[in-house]
Amino acid sequence: MLEKMGEFFDNRLNGYDEHQMTCIESAGEFYPFTAKCLPKEAGVHILDLGCGTGLELEQYFRINPSAKVTGIDLAPGMLDALKNKLPNQDLTLILGSYFDVPFGNGIYDAAVSVESLHHFTKEEKIPLYAKLKDALKADGYFVLTDYFALSEEEEQFHRQELLRLRKMQGIDDDEFYHYDTPLTVQHEVEALQEADFSTVEILNNWGATYTLRTGKR
Ligand SMILES: C[S@@+](CC[C@H](N)C(=O)[O-])C[C@H]1O[C@@H](n2cnc3c(N)ncnc32)[C@H](O)[C@@H]1O
């Protein structure tokens, strides 16, 4: 049974962190690795797309306690948990979809997203990435850690499955329902490049999880 995106995560809030850290292969490595890829200078401003309970942010604030972070998420319970976990950090939390929330222009030193963007198509991501690029400072960059389809067949299979389940449940609204539809790394890179990001580097990978980095130049 498909559930609306925010409700899906809030319904699993209890035990969410433990589930991520114990059931997702190499989570103990990719969260700290992602945090280490973000700027270490005092007072930098970071945007987190789909911050959830902030597993990547806990790691990041250990490295850079004076960073200022804006996090966007659809799930109010996840954001409350994050606020309670990190009460002393400079955190601005926005409840909403990163497709709808305006990011502003030239504001952020870097952006990050972990395990959130695998729910969306390449076509949905291109305008999102174009908006993200505008939100970064001239030397700003984006670090994406997520899991990817290992073949185009796998990518197609998940997308068709989501459409089949939506039809079966009679869902015809425009809302996001939770179902994992990872792109291939190649399609993710194309989405970033079509949004006019510069060269995309693969910084690391653990099974189907990759960390990509791209910048404005
Ligand atoms: C698997 S969790 C990852 C949370 C956190 N980044 C982590 O790695 O633990 C995915 C998060 O993305 C959020 N999310 C999914 N689609 C979103 C959207 N369109 N806008 C904002 N948040 C979204 C969900 O609500 C959820 O909290």
| Local confidence pLDDT in tens for the 217 residues of the chain | 999 999 999 999 999 999 999 999 999 999 999 999 999 999 999 999 999 999 999 999 999 999 999 999 999 999 999 999 999 999 999 999 999 999 999 999 999 999 999 999 999 999 999 999 999 999 999 999 999 999 999 999 999 999 999 999 999 888 999 999 999 999 999 999 999 998 899 999 999 999 999 998 7
The tokens 């499955």 sit on which residue? 161
Are 47 and 112 within 8 A, CB to CB?
Answer: yes
Predicted structure pTM score: 0.97
| Ligand 1 in reach of 38 Cβ (< 6 A) | no
Helix (H, G, I), strand (E, B) or coil at 203: strand
> What would be the CATH architecture of the domain defined by 5-215?
3-Layer(aba) Sandwich (3.40)
How many angstroms is it from 181 CA to the middle of ligand 1?
A: 14
Nearest residue by C-alpha to atom 22 in ligand 1: 73
| Ligand 1 in reach of 6 Cβ (< 6 A) | yes
Please report the sign of the dihedral spanned by the C-alpha atoms of residue 214, residue 102, residue 35, residue 186: negative
Nearest residue by C-alpha to atom 18 in ligand 1: 97
| Ligand 1 in reach of 120 Cβ (< 6 A) | no
Instruction: For residues 74 and 116, give the distance between their C-alpha atoms in angstroms, rounded to a whole number.
Output: 11
